[in-house]
Amino acid sequence: MSDPAVPDFLERSGRPRLACRHIAGRSPTIVFLPGYMSDMAGGKATALFDWAAAEGHACLLLDYAGCGLSNGLFAEQTLLDWRGDVLDLIDAKAEGPLLIVGSSMGGWLMLLTALALVRRDGPGRVAGLVGIAAAPDFTDWGFNAAEKAIILAEGALLEETPYSDQPYVTTRAFWQSGEANRLLDAEIPLTCPVRLLHGQEDGDVPPDVSLRLSAALASEDVQVTLVKGGDHRLSRDTDIALLIDTVARLATRN
């Protein structure tokens, strides 16, 4: 049996090699999707993986191409490239129903991935979704007109960020991919249970985004939890405990 703490790799023809951590166990498989310029080594991902391993739940962590331990250049990836990474790893590592957890941009990819899986495999493939400061459509509301003009004219926007010593890079190709895959302006045809966690002090993704997402989802089983004092990361011990409790409640319903 392989050591779940040691990353596994998925080789792909014509696309970057992807890093992941996977542990077999009870269904549904919990899949964690990190945020922009983030990876599977983050505190929320690690805590969720450790909890799943202790409880005997199947779990899959991953690094998108150009992130973490995966191959590829970050600036060459688009939103749909990363959705393709997620689908490739799910197909290679996860069987049966999935409980997908998405943090920030990972919340957008969570929705795009779920829509693709439901179209292909039927609604039973997605047992539930948990968004953590989910950020669908951030190419629209996350940039002002001047910033969008720079992206289009110069091909990329570099921004300082408190989350990394490297600047955030938003390329024209990524931005255009995001704009072509916006979700909040129409009904999102997902009917599984959805839980949305959002810090009230989130300075990066306004809590209103989770409320808009709740309204757009076709599911009648959607709950939004606003966390008093919570920032964008929601990485305090109490925030991690809330995340694990939320995932546990959905996982045990199946």
What pLDDT is attached to residue 2? 47
Using CB atoms within 10 Å of the CB of residue 174, give its burial: 0 to 12 exposed, 13 to 18 middle, 19+ buried. buried
Active site residue 177: no
Active site residue 202: yes
**Residue 16 CB coordination number (10 Å):** 21
Active site residue 2: no
What pLDDT is attached to residue 3? 56
Using CB atoms within 10 Å of the CB of residue 186, give its burial: 0 to 12 exposed, 13 to 18 middle, 19+ buried. exposed
Which of 119, 103, 131 is closest to 210 using CA atoms? 131
What pLDDT is attached to residue 244? 98
Please pick, among 63, 85, 202, 204, the residue that the annotation labels catalytic: 202
Structure tokens at 42: 């983050």
Q: Say what the pTM is.
A: 0.96
**Residue 3 CB coordination number (10 Å):** 9
Please pick, among 38, 70, 104, 210, the residue that the annotation labels catalytic: 104
Return the biggest CA–CA distance within the chain: 53
Structure tokens at 56: 């005997």
Which of 106, 109, 26, 40 is closest to 70 using CA atoms? 40
Half-sphere exposure of 169 (CA within 13 A, CB side): 15
Please pick, among 22, 57, 198, 232, the residue that the annotation labels catalytic: 232
| Ranges of the chain whose pLDDT falls below 50 | 1-2
Kindly state which CATH superfamily the domain 8-143+183-251 is placed in: Alpha/Beta hydrolase fold, catalytic domain (3.40.50.1820)
CA 100 to chain centre: 8
Contacts of 34 (CB under 8 A, 6+ apart): 40, 42, 45, 62, 63, 64, 67, 103, 106
